[in-house]
Amino acid sequence: MKKITQITGLLLSMFMLPFANADEAAIKQALGKSMPTAKIESIKPSEIKGVYEVVLGSSIYYVSEDGKYLLQGRLVDVANRTDLTEQKLGATRKAALERIGTDNMIVFKPKIAKYKVSIFTDIDCGYCRKLHSEIDQYLAEGITIQYLFFPRAGKGSDSYDKAVSVWCAKDRNAALTAAKKDHSLEKKTCVNPVDKHMQLAAEFEVKGTPMIVTENGNIYPGYLPAKQLLEALQGEKTSQ
């Protein structure tokens, strides 16, 4: 009897697989036509029957099984009051930051590293400057700070040019600190990751700066003092 059950299960999975693949193929084809430049990371069934979860870049969307309708928003488990989308976005943000790589960030490392955060910063943002003026406090708590640029005024702005000049400086860390203090910088250009940072900020839906992203991909918008950030990071580690 057990063997018959196993065979039945195998046959059912064989019949169901082509339909699942067909849905995914339809979605991929539809999105390919309407969003040809979009990079599809994954397509899989969501918690809602007939709706698929699609990861585009670092964002999550929900698409009908025929690929005709796309929903942008949060999927919430009402009974458990859980934001299912946010839970999964953490993983996509983490993967996206790993793809950028620390070679394309400006990193301030403590003597003994315990935690690590990535921060989208604007050189001319007041709270970004406040955060950086306290960099030694973050480092003293064992928090590695990895900076990415998000000049809110956009490409070609004074803030954008400053970001490029900092990146192209001989000592990027020193240049960033000087820029945050409003010291004049030698204007430089070179191959730089600022546009990639800005694209990632758009995918992460960064609205303001600073925006802190933890190792788990969780977001803390705005300035947090070192002690408060440490408590948040400790809380994340405890809940794992």
Of residues 30 and 50, more confidently modeled: 50
In angstroms, the CA 96 to CA 55 distance is 12
Output the pLDDT for position 32.
77
- Would the pLDDT of 237 be above 80? no
Output the pLDDT for position 239.
62
Q: Per-residue confidence at 238, pLDDT binned at 50, 70, 90?
A: low
Instruction: Choose the catalytic residue: 23, 93, 124, 125.
Output: 125
Residues forming CATH 3.40.30.10 domain(s) in the chain: 99-239
Torsion of the alpha carbons at 195, 201, 203 and 204, rounded to the nearest 10? 160
CATH code assigned to 99-239? 3.40.30.10
**Any catalytic annotation for residue 152?**
yes
The amino acid that residue 103 corresponds to is D
- Would the pLDDT of 35 be above 90? no
Q: Per-residue pLDDT averaged across 90-97, rounded?
A: 91
Say what the pTM is.
0.78
| 140-160 core/surface letters (b: 16 or more CB in 10 A; e: else) | ebebbbbbbbbbbeeeeeebb
Instruction: Choose the catalytic residue: 124, 128, 129, 161.
Output: 128
Q: Domain 2-89 belongs to what architecture?
A: Roll (3.10)
**Any catalytic annotation for residue 125?**
yes
Output the pLDDT for position 11.
32
Residues forming CATH 3.10.450.70 domain(s) in the chain: 2-89
- Would the pLDDT of 85 be above 80? yes
Output the pLDDT for position 23.
77
Query: Do 51 and 69 touch, CB atoms closer than 8 A?
Result: no
